[in-house]
Chains A and B, each alone.
Chain A
């Protein structure tokens, strides 16, 4: 069995050695297609990281112009706390707000020198429960608060997340469409290069069929060849995308996303590299299966 596997591998390698240009062509197309797919994946995954961190900030702030009695405010906070979507409600007094502001300014704290805590309003900060963290829930909570005339100065997500999610969706769709197209193109090209080697070896295929080679025996070397080319293409795609990631993507995407508070750009997560290589092998296998479909014939049609 092992000897047989070695036999087919040897024949596949011999075929590839005998037509190096064709082999390189199919390895190259698989590599380019999968590398582009990987670029998109890197972009999508990193922007996704952004929405996750923004989602955590999904909160509603109720500004209070006139600060009533602490007891009354506590009562309000309790009322809002009963909403099922709400995780917690915190009261931030004018003083606390001012302190926070000063801290955030850091070295520029002297800008607020001479100003009193009464420049900033007090507020109730409402954060949503984990399961309810989405733009639509946010809006329904805001609607409900609006109806309550005690709270009318509200600040919340303002559609940013929605826009970002729409952008992500677009990125994902265009990435999958382009990726799908490229993978299909790679499939066709691999199929055609294998077909060319089959044409060159037609006499051999015919002779094998004539002396009693089974369909599998005749096809296997070519299937191995296709899978091997695909695996190599996948490996090349991985190398290529890592190189481009290191040289270009990390910097450009990094500076693009830095303003949004994300400071580390990640390469593909752990299982992706394996997936890329196996995917390449799969493309190659499918391509050669496609090429062989009409090639090995025992009976005239």
Chain B
């Protein structure tokens, strides 16, 4: 599903934010991206949704080489992705319903199709009673659930989440994780950047750790009895 070959990324001035990263993520996998602040987690995710271009190396997503994608093809790549941020990035002047309907509107879907799908998705995150509210009238956890709904409403192939629980308290974090798990169970590949060791301990999955832009470790949790990056097929959707 996702492959990186010797990817380097250097911003205008300074050292490499990413250094010779080679990585493969299979369809349906759930991968934690960890590492200290400034390790390059966000940068790696940005490369995957084409907000930045790699300085060197090649990136394949869904068997397509997206390394040199330009404004004409990026939109169509992003329609297969769900992207979630630490600060939600909801539109404040739009209602919950409008926020979640937005990606479908952008794709030019029919109105009845949109309303059905939006309602379904909001129900799956438990917010169908909030659709007329504005984001700032909701709690942080509810806002992030709206953001998750917005990401999942298009049934994305891949969900990219950059510290989605960074601003949330532990209980709400568990809610969000349950949503991710069920999306993963339905076949969505998930890459989630996080600092949260407790979370990883509670929901053990493959861990890709970065350090100062380099790949530090790439491991399955030890107790699962496998190591290395081979044989992750059994990972899908299991707790």
Contact = CB atoms under 8 A, between A and B. Distances in A.
Interface of A: 4, 203-204, 206-215, 217, 298-300
A299 B74 CA distance: 9
Interface stretch (B18-26, B30-38, B48-56, B203-211): B48-56
B89 interface: yes
In the A-B complex, list the 7 residue pairs whose CB atoms are closest, starting with the nearest.
Answer: A212-B79, A211-B103, A212-B78, A213-B106, A298-B74, A214-B75, A298-B71
A208 B71 contact: no
Contacts of B91: 203-204, 207
Given A204-B91, A207-B102, 13 more contacts: A207-B89, A210-B49, A211-B79, A211-B102, A211-B106, A212-B77, A212-B79, A213-B75, A217-B108, A298-B71, A299-B50, A299-B69, A300-B46
Contacts of A211: 78-79, 83, 102-103, 106, 150, 154
A152 B107 CA distance: 86
- Residue of B53, B75, B108, B154 with most chain A CB atoms under a 10 A cut-off: B75
Interface string B103-117: 100111000000000
Nearest to B85: A210
B106 A208 contact: yes
Contacts of B74: 298-299
Nearest to A210: B83
Contacts of B76: 212
Interface of B: 46, 49-53, 69-72, 74-79, 81, 83, 89, 91-93, 102-103, 106-108, 150, 154
Contacts of B102: 207-208, 211
Contacts, number: 63
Specify the main secondary structure of chain B where it touches its partner.
Answer: loop
Contacts of B77: 212
B52 A212 contact: no
Given A298-B50, A298-B74, A217 B106 contact: yes
B107 A212 contact: yes
B75 A299 contact: no
A212 B103 contact: yes
Nearest to B79: A212
B118 to A, nearest CB: 13
A298 B72 CA distance: 9
Contacts of A4: 108
Contacts of B53: 299-300
Contacts of B71: 215, 298-299
Contacts of B75: 209, 212-215, 217, 298
Contact of A210 (B52, B70, B78): B78
Contacts of A207: 89, 91, 102
B150 to A, nearest CB: 7
Nearest to A200: B93
Nearest to A4: B108
Contacts of A298: 50-51, 70-71, 74-75
Nearest to B52: A300
